[in-house]
Amino acid sequence: MTQIIDGKRTAEKIKQQIAREVQEMVEHGGKRPHLAAILVGKDGASQTYVGHKEKACGQVGFESTILKLEENITEEYLLEQIARINRDKDIDGLIVQLPLPRHINEIKVIEAIDPAKDVDGFHPVSVGKMMLGLPGFLPATPFGIMSLLEEYEIDTRGKHCVILGRSNIVGRPMANLLSQKSDRADCTVTVCHSRTLHVEDYTRRADIIIAAIGIPEYLKGDMVKEGAVVIDVGITRVPDSTKTGGYRLVGDVEYATVAPKCSYITPVPGGVGPMTIVSLLRNTLSAAKKEYSK
Ligand code: GUN
């Protein structure tokens, strides 16, 4: 029997916990956690994501500030804005929505964020802490996936996990987290990527598959063994005139052929996506409580 991992429901539950905690903080004279997001340019998907983050902040009682900047701003101007937000004592967390226009150096921008406010977990200090297994901000999508595995009590110990994709945002941090020495990890991890030969040789032997390559319906039923756990991180917009927005969201997994073989699977939408935003909220709450910078 295949069990569907309900990311939407899990995310709602966590949001309610956060909202309660914020209410208590405010009742005890504390200030509301405050997230700032910088959005450069007019990329449609980025605008949607930032809008979702702003809405989620409101739902749990956080303050949020969106700084919208023109596509043609200079790197120097963006770095000045980050420095200003770093100094702003009222703002707890800062994210710069990616991707950035090509003339702006992404690494330089990420390094400019105060590690105490790095709620995306992209700063080298956060990445280093994660690598060493120290408490710190985890990137939102891997944090969300780890939370889902925990919520559904999925046994990861000693299991062979195959990760499809080696991005800094998902694949590589997932490989790191799942290989750590911990009751909630302890996996043997294989990372497959665009240069891997015969990917199916790996996926067919996997107990857990994390699909994060951004190719719609890449993982097919014949690439998966019976009883596998499949986590689908993909969200590609595919044109669809029957939908109100003109597109539908498709994951990296061909759900119809893969799901019947799985013990657990995340749907798209409603799987990993909602957990990503809630993990950002969790990080912002931790930043407001100075959990990692005392
Ligand atoms: N672009 C795609 N995913 C993310 C994310 O998690 N954070 C930021 N800042 N930009 C993104």
Dist. CA 240–CA 220, nearest whole Å: 22
Q: What predicted TM-score, i.e. pTM, was given to this entire model?
A: 0.96
> Has 53 been annotated as catalytic?
yes
Look at residue 294 and tell me whether its pLDDT is greater than 80: no
- In the chain the domains, ranked by start, together with CATH numbers, are 29-114 (3.40.50.10860), 140-273 (3.40.50.720)
Look at residue 152 and tell me whether its pLDDT is greater than 70: yes
Mean pLDDT along residues 118-146? 98
Mean pLDDT along residues 228-250? 94
Q: Who contacts 255 (Cβ-Cβ below 8 Å, separation ≥6)?
A: 217, 232, 265, 267, 268
pLDDT per position as a tens digit, 78-91: 999 999 999 999 99
pLDDT per position as a tens digit, 192-235: 999 999 999 999 999 999 999 999 999 999 999 999 999 999 99
Look at residue 151 and tell me whether its pLDDT is greater than 70: yes
Is any ligand 1 atom within 6 A of the Cβ of residue 279?
no
DSSP code of residue 119: T
Helix (H, G, I), strand (E, B) or coil at 220: coil
pLDDT attached to residue 245: 87
Is any ligand 1 atom within 6 A of the Cβ of residue 37?
no
